[in-house]
Amino acid sequence: MTTLAAWVFAVSAAWVVWTFVGYPAALWAWSRAAGRVRPIARSPIEPEVVIVVVVHNEAAGIRAKLESCTAQHYPADQLRILVVSDGSTDGTGEAVRAFGDPRVDWLHSDVRRGKAACVNDALAASVAPIVVLTDARQALHPDAVRHLVSNFADPTVGAASGELVFVLEGASGFGQGVDAYWRYEKAIRRMEGAIGSVVGVTGALYALRRAAWTPIPEDTVLDDVLIPMNAVRAGWRVVFEDRAIAYDRPANDAARERVRKIRTLAGNFGLLAAHPWLLDPRRNPIFIQYLSHKISRLVAPLALAGTLVSSLLLAPAHAVFAAALVAQLALYAMPLLGTAWPAAAAALPVRIGTAFVALNWFVVLGFREWLRNRQVHVWR
């Protein structure tokens, strides 16, 4: 039993360390060398661009989004905005038409089919060589489109991810923890882009070369993963552009973040089930990055559980395992500490520990959600 527990501890702890520390460290070393070998040939080009905004009942906020899109520092005659309605019933269409800018078009579906179907419709309805996809909620920096488009001067680039920046004014300790985790995630994406291609893009803002587009199944939840991965599979490069910024606010409580993350994580499990080529190193050109960035995080809660249970069994036998157990118990106590003592919630270790525990628990809930809904064809 002791030998088995030691093996479980070794494998589980190694998985956790590689996922959250080892892979980023390896990327850092890899990207420092590759950044000089594979630079992105950016240039200030100005091709025709269409900004696609998929909406469902966004009457209250669509004007602010359109103002953000039309305020881009990009030639007006080269920029169009296409708002695609996924069965909106709240007057979003009237608000779009009342905006009064001839560059703004409206495409409506009476039936709600999901974002993926709307993205397919948008690409079929437009002819611009560069498509920028952005969500309805986030405001864009005025230079966001220009910076994204500059990447397509490089003929190897098929897609470019923008950067989501959280506005922290009024953010809770949990919200600041989510922001810290997101900054960690962006650093990984930036390094992945330097060595070749990013594993997924920022759904709030990314651009696609039309030639790199492949229609996606209508039941796709994560268009911001499948679309760029299809481009990578076809031989294109997907890069990260940190000068192209979309602004948002982090969730201030775990309950709000839970809803969003469970849907996203369930989508990750569904993506693997629907597209097994992602797990085939012969067909996935960035298999190592995909395995280390995406799959390892889906398995991480199991590895964390294995590390905890094995260290609990081994703690009486050796001080190393006892120390590991104490460290883990301290980590899992962070959310309880922040709840019981609100003043401690703003402390850096507490907010990062709380976000880490919550986000890994959401993986478990996401897997359960996928098991419950894997026969559902349209995720909304």
In the chain, domain spans = 2-20+289-373, 41-277
Residues 261-308: pLDDT tens digits? 888 899 999 999 999 999 999 999 999 999 999 999 999 999 999 999
What SS3 class is residue 262?
Answer: helix
Distance between CA atoms of residues 61 and 118, nearest Å: 19
Q: Which two tokens stand for residue 332?
A: 């899992």
pTM of structure: 0.88
**Which residue positions in the chain have pLDDT lower than 70?**
1, 34-37, 168-177, 251-254, 256, 374-380
Contacts for 212 with CB less than 8 Å, ≥ 6 apart: 158, 159, 230, 231, 234, 236
Distance between CA atoms of residues 210 and 206, nearest Å: 13
Query: Quick one: pLDDT at residue 355?
Result: 84
Query: Quick one: pLDDT at residue 1?
Result: 62
What SS3 class is residue 54?
Answer: strand
From the list 355, 374, 362, 371, the residue with the least C-alpha distance to 181 is 355
Q: Which two tokens stand for residue 261?
A: 């993350």
What amino acid is encoded at 40 in this protein? I
Please report where in the chains the tokens 């209508």 appear, as a residue: 218
Radius of gyration, alpha carbons of the chain: 22
Question: What secondary structure does DSSP assign to 182-228, as a single string?
Answer: HHHHHHHHHHHHHHS--SS--TTEEEEEGGG-----TT-S-HHHHHH
41-277: CATH number: 3.90.550.10
Q: In the predicted model, what is the mean pLDDT of the chain?
A: 90
Strands (E), the chain: 49-55, 79-86, 104-109, 130-134, 139-140, 157-166, 205-209, 237-248
Please report where in the chains the tokens 């890899």 appear, as a residue: 30
Phi, psi of 159 (to 5 degrees): -155, 155
Distance between CA atoms of residues 14 and 22, nearest Å: 9
Query: Quick one: pLDDT at residue 377?
Result: 39
